[in-house]
Every structure is written in C-alpha cells, then in structure tokens.
Chain A
Amino acid sequence: MFFGGLLFVALGKDPVAAIRTIFYEPLFGQYAFYYRPQLLVKGAPLVLIAIGLSLGFKAGIWNIGAEGQYIMGALFGAGVGLAFYPYEAWFVFPLMVAAGAFGGWIWAMIPAFLKVRFGTNEILVSLMLVYVAEQFLASMSLGLMKNPEGFGFPGSRNLQQYESAFNADLIEGSGMHWGVVAALIAVIFAYVLLSKHRLGFAIRVTGEAPRAARFSGVNPVRLVLFCMGMSGLLAGLAGMFEVSGPAGQVTIDFNVGYGFTAIIVAFLGRLHPVGILLAGGLMALTYIGGDIAQSQLGLPAAAIQVFQGMLLFFLLALDMLTHYRLRFGTAEVV
C-alpha cells in the first residue's frame, strides 16, 4: 500500500485520497448503500469459482480453464431459459441452474477424461478449451441464441425481462441473488469437506504426498474426475447465475475474466474456503473502488491495475516470507 501511495504521488494525485477512495468509499462512503450490494455481485462469482479451483489445486490438479467452464455454464443455463421463452413457470429457473452446472461440469470433464485416459496435461487442455468456449460463445450470440427482435445485432434476449428465468435479487436492492447464496453454500460445503470428510483428507494428502496417498488407498483417477468436475460445476454455476442475473444476456463479450481472476483469489485465500471468501471480497473491493477512483480522481485505469497487481504481489510475497526464510549467499549442496 505504501508503494501504491508512491505510485499515486508519481501520478500527481493525493495518495491518501486515492487509497481512501479505493478501500473506504465502497464500504462506508456516501453511496455505500449502492456499492455494498455490488461487492456481493462482483465477489460471488469469484468466490464460487475459486472454491472449486482450490479443491483441485490442493490435490495438485491444475484446472486453469475455469473461464471456459464459466462460459459453458452460462450458455447451457441461458440456452435452457431461452428455449422456454416466453413460457412462465416455477421450474424454469431450477432447470437452468441444473443445466448451467452440467455445462461447466461437462466442459471440465474433457480435460479430466483426457488426463486419466491418455495422461494429457490438464493445464494445457483446460486452458485451450477456454478459447474454444469463447468461439462457441461468439457463435451462439451471433447465431442460435441471437435475439430475434434485436434488428440483426448480436446478443440474446435479455433474461432480466423474462421473469421465470431472471435471477433477481432475493431482497430488492440487496445484491443477494442466488449466486451469492450458492457461493456461501459452497464455502461451507468446501470447509466441511476438507476438514471433516474422508475425501477432503484424500485431496490434502494427494497434494502433499502423492505416493503416500496412493499407498493409503486413494484412487487418483476418481480424485481427478471429482476435483475437475467439481470446479467445472461451480464455475458453470457462476456463469449461469451471472448470465441470468447481473449480465442478463448472452453476448460476445460476456466473459470478463472471472475464471482467471479466481485463480488469484484461490491462492490469495491460501486455498482455504474462508480465506477465499475474504480474498474474493478484497478483489471485488479493489475493482469497485478502482472504478470510483477513476471517475472521481481521474486516475487512469492502468494505474489502478498496477496498484491491484502490487497489492497481490506484496500479499503473496508476505505469505511466502512467513513460510520460508530468506537466506542470502549460496547454500551448500549436500
């Protein structure tokens, strides 16, 4: 934060005001009643995805493609919703949730299956599938899902105007939509799983000592399928809640990088469910505070990004330094 202050000074802005705008304004400022719910809106998908990713990361299974699973979840969910349009019924939304989860799950199953069957690298495959998903998204918003009343412009119908499919705030203006609820449930679920359940133990052991895990009877194939599937499912859910709520429609630019930011969130939260919850909140805060600082103080967007980067860098460095001791000079090789 000190270096961030220096950065703002270098740009000729009051550092105290800048940092205050970023961290204080969204929480306690004059219009905090609007920003606080926005924190939930922005943070929920991050937390939801990061929780899923953390399960895999703990076990040494690297799903980098959450962004793609997020897109596929949104497409599946929105697809079901649009297929029912304009039929109003209570079961439309639950079906969309199921479809969204399925979409993310199936997309994550591709790298998972390839890994257990052919030993491919899940990092590469899941990452590449992000680009496939992006192309798919473009094709959907230009073709099949295009709003027939949209004068030929790309983008689907707006689900916010379709009551059965709209993931509205549970309490008007509170920002608490179903995605936030799902994120909280996921945190609790992951916490219980990791600390109390046998599967959680298997995940931890596999990450820390793969051979020991194997001896103790952990089935690595099932573990890969579970971790990848779970992270895909949660990412898919996040996408589905986003498309049916805050975003409202399938567009070419629907994804804004939640899937990648969630990786940072997962590590920032030290792969611990409660930590992730806090880290997600912090990320959301810097995004929202950053936008406010841009418009109120005229800070360029790039400066905000640099500030965010520095913040993460120092936090992670701090984490590292508390775990390892820095030794100068060369250690003797034994």
Chain B
Amino acid sequence: MKLSALLTGAALALGLATTASADAHSKTKVGFVFVGPVGDGGWTYEHDQGRLAVEKEFGDAVETVYVENVAEGPDSERVMTQMALDGAKLIFTTSFGYMDPTINVAKKFPDVKFEHATGYKRADNVSTYSARFYEGRAIQGHIAGNMTESNIIGYIGSYPIPEVIRGINSAYIHAKKVNPDVQFKIVWAYTWFDPAKEADAAKVLIEQGADVILQHTDSTAPQAAAQEAGNVITFGQASDMAQYAPKPRVSSIIDNWAPYYIARTKAVMDGTWTSTDTWDGIGPGMVGIGEISDAVPANVKEEALAMKDKIASGEYHPFTGPVKKQDGSDWLADGEVADDGTLAGMNFYVEGIEGTIPQ
C-alpha cells in the first residue's frame, strides 16, 4: 500500500519533471558524459574543448554540464538519467561502452536527444557519430615508415575493437608502402587512459627496438617515455600534444568535435534534430593533422601533406586495393576501395602484420 503510493508519487513527479523542464526552455541544457578526466590531454580533453566551443558559440542560450571519469555500465546510466531529469535536452555520451546505457536511458526519455560516440546502436532519439581516424593513421604510417631506422614500429593498442584495428591496418599499409622491411609490434593496454600502463607499454616497445611509437591511448605518458629514451619519435593522439614537439612528437591526429557539437546543439534548439549516423574524416574537419615538425625531412613532410590533401578531397582512400588479409586471402582487388560496412566491423589484420588479434 505504502509502496504503491510511493510509486504513483514517483510517476507524478516524473510527469511534473518533464513539464517543468519543458518550461525552462529559454536555456538549452546540453550534457556531456566523459570516460576520462577532462585534463587527460587526449580524448576527453578534446570532447571538453568541443563542449567549451558550444558554450562560446551560443553564449547564454545554452548551459552545458558534464560529469567526468564515469565508469561504463550502470554508473553511466545513472549519470545520463540524472542529466535528463535535470532538464538536459541533448546529451553526448563519449565512449563506446556507454552504448547500451545510452539506449536504455533514451527509451525512458523520448523527448531528450542523445548522441553516442563510436557506437552502432541508434534509435529515434539516439544518433551516433565517429571520426575516420584511419585517414590520419595513413599519414602517420607514411611518416613512420620513412623515418624508422630500426624498421620496427611499436603500436600501443587500447582494446582490440574495429576502430583500433582499422588504425593499425591503415598505418601498416602506408608504412609498408614506403618501407617494405617495416615490422609492427603491437601491445594491447586494455585501457583508454592509464598513464602508468601506457608508459610501461612504450618502454617495452622501445626495449624491443622500436624507434617509432604509435598510440591509440589517450595520455601523454608514451610521449614522455619516448622523450626519455631519446631517439624515438611519436605522434600525438586525439589531441595535438604539442608540448612534446618537435621531438619526440612529430605530428598528431587531432579530434575536432567542435563543429559537430555546435551543429547538433543548433539542430536541437531549432527543433530540426533527427537521428543520424555521422562518420566524418579529414575532409569535413572532424579529423585534423597536427603540424608536422622539423624533425621530419622536408620531402617526407611534403608527401604527407599531399596525401592529406588527397584524402580530404576524396581523391584517395587509405584502403585502396590491392590489399590481402593476414591469412593471404584476397580482400580488395586492384583499385577497389573498402566499403564502410567492412571498415566499421573490421576484425582482421592485413597481410604482413604479425601476431593475432586477441580473441
């Protein structure tokens, strides 16, 4: 009896809550759920820059809120629910592991729009978005293949998911093109952000003879490890990491979420928001290439920039045949370009990479 009274009270309050937030329409509230700390200098930092850009663009018309260091799973579900209850109209959930929680919360709040980064589940009020980082990886591979002297390139992977595997393949293909003897050593860190683990991984790779370190994790720890080791070059990941330029950091992939976040926020304000799946690369500006430093020979830099322009214009696709899979079977015929479906779910290495993807 008491409990049912409580529940009707709850239902009532929920109804009140939704109407109350509808009234407070003068300011559009936008929520951000972050997987790391905003000061990570990488992934979350760039998302937070996007958030600040939204604030700057719309000024008093928006209010942004965020919660950082949110564990994937039930904790994230609670944080999203709380944001929706507090009247957020649009919520960006910026890690792959927030996928199911986002869908769950979206079901409960049909009037709130959700944007989930790097996932594949959509609903009427859930969009997904991601960036074609592999385009940047191609340029990294080109520079790395040219600059390595030991012919060993170390790669710090986060999780063996398609996004990361795509990056490895793209970098490898382009390193191999300019340097047939090149070899990739891959370490899986099983984390997006853990400076200690990342530093260890970098040190192990350097000890194994790698003089180029590519990372798909978010902290600057590998950069610091490379700097300490001396003759090793690295690339900034997610953020420019320019504090380590000109060496070890010779270039970087920069995630630029600001234009997308601004456009989506505007769509919510105008009431034109619809559920979409966005996958943008260098062309539309979602992926940026950080300045290539002077540590890179001029001709290599020139070639890299030319490749960047070609990718941006759509003239060149980093996955253009002939490419074989690791087991020797054909994947792309001569001149054939990989389709987005295969890329989105990529779970194989291309020919020449040693080792197996952890299963």
Contacts and interface: CB of A to CB of B under 8 A. Distances in A.
A249 B104 CA distance: 13
A44 B353 CA distance: 46
A152 B347 contact: yes
Nearest to B346: A152
Contacts of B65: 295-296, 298
B254 to A, nearest CB: 24
B82 A256 contact: no
A172 B68 CA distance: 29
A248 B100 contact: yes
Nearest to B36: A301
Given A38-B78, A295-B83, A142 B68 contact: no
A286 interface: no
A291 B78 contact: yes
A254 interface: yes
A69 interface: no
Nearest to A31: B85
A302 interface: yes
7 contacts: A30-B17, A154-B159, A253-B72, A253-B97, A256-B75, A295-B65, A301-B69
Contacts of A300: 37-38, 68
B159 A252 contact: yes
Interface residues of B, number: 46
A154 B67 contact: no
A89 interface: no
B72 A142 contact: no
User: What is the predominant secondary structure among interface residues of chain A facing chain B?
Assistant: loop
A155 B162 CA distance: 13
Contacts of A246: 73-74, 77
A296 B162 CA distance: 35
Contacts of A143: 358-359
B345 A151 contact: yes
A247 B76 CA distance: 10
A247 B101 CA distance: 9
B298 interface: no
A158 interface: yes
A249 to B, nearest CB: 7
A155 B97 CA distance: 9
A294 interface: yes
Given A173-B7, A296-B65, A256 B71 contact: yes
A171 B11 CA distance: 14
Given A253-B97, A300-B37, 11 more contacts: A30-B13, A31-B85, A34-B82, A38-B78, A42-B74, A143-B358, A153-B161, A253-B71, A295-B65, A295-B79, A301-B69
Contacts of A262: none
A274 interface: no
Contact of A152 (B6, B70, B345): B345
A292 interface: yes
Interface string A128-171: 00000000001100110000000111110010100000000001
A171 B3 contact: yes
Contact of B96 (A31, A41, A153): A153
Interface string A298-326: 10111000000000000000000000000
Contact of B161 (A34, A154, A291): A154
Nearest to A287: B75
A160 B101 CA distance: 11
A141 to B, nearest CB: 9
